[in-house]
Amino acid sequence: MRVLVTGASGFLGRAVAARISAAGHEVRTFQRRPSGVPGVEDVHGSITTPADTPYAGLAYAVSGRDAVVHLAAKVSLAGDPAAFEAVNVGGTRTVLQAAQDAGVSRFVYISSPSVAHAGSSIMGSDALPAAPGQARGDYARTKARAELLALAADAPGFSVVAVRPHLVWGPGDTQLIDRIVDRARHGRLPLLGRGAALIDTTYIDNAASAIHAALDAASSVHGQSYVITNGEPRPIAELLAGICGAANVAAPAWRVPASAARAAGSLIEAIWRTRPGTDEPPMTRFLAEQLSTAHWFDQRRTRADLAWTPEVSLDEGFARLAAHYRQAP
């Protein structure tokens, strides 16, 4: 199969491109920076540029492809709402149109469980409908709209499936893992409430293999959304301790009431909108909700429909993360 992977310079996109290429498919990637994936053809450009614009790259990138895996997105806790809209919604619309114009037959849209998270606990649910009106924050709202846009394009000859990997992590992750470790190292990582909320996560290899499985199964599962996790929910305190232990830093020992963290998150978001910092805000309401509510999912339909099971357990993932930190300079 000839596959285009967008956003392959990111942590997950790079793993997905490498996984699909290793399976024997011909992989081309499209993003603003080199992917660093051996054996693939990199095409540079932006999904916010119309596909028919000369030298934009997307029209070429999608030409002759049988399938597209669309990961490119603006992922952040804060930022200009117009930027989220332009990349996550407008960019997805552009990639969809380019894929349809090029005669692509399979389209895998990489979404997020946050598209259906309204601030309260999710315990043992399957993939709930994407709900832009209830999703928390500009990232989740625009990803929800983009998922609905992608699934609405599902049609005979153009099979669309949405995959929602949940909290992807592993060695080399500069977003979730490195930020947790950095904040723990500087004593800025609290537990919200009792740290007992059950949360499921996804090791990077499992996320990549699940997306590959969705690509293979797209013609039979089209029109559906699937949440991807390791299927091993743990208390948030245990997860943070596992990550910190792998990096040889102290796990968080101080606590903040969840209600106080949510209030602080709302205030910080308001400040960031008027005087944005150069990094992610230390807390947002969405982040406070994610760290203080349960979110784990029923994986039975996902595993049955995609004929997929995780390859790397949570504990093995922690061991690999520890080995990564031991080898780090």
CA angle 49, 160, 123 (to 5 degrees): 105
Q: Are strands 198-199 and 234-235 parallel, antiparallel or unpaired?
A: antiparallel
Judge contact between 110 and 139, C-beta under 8 A.
no
β partners of residue 125:
297
Active site residues: 139
* CA-to-CA separations, 158 to 47, 99, 155, 252, 274, in angstroms, rounded: 20, 9, 5, 48, 43
Q: For residue 158, what are the contacts with CB-CB under 8 A and spacing of at least 6?
A: 99, 100, 104, 105, 107
CB distance 94 to 30 below 8 Å? no
Burial class (CB in 10 A: 0-12, 13-18, 19+), 22: middle
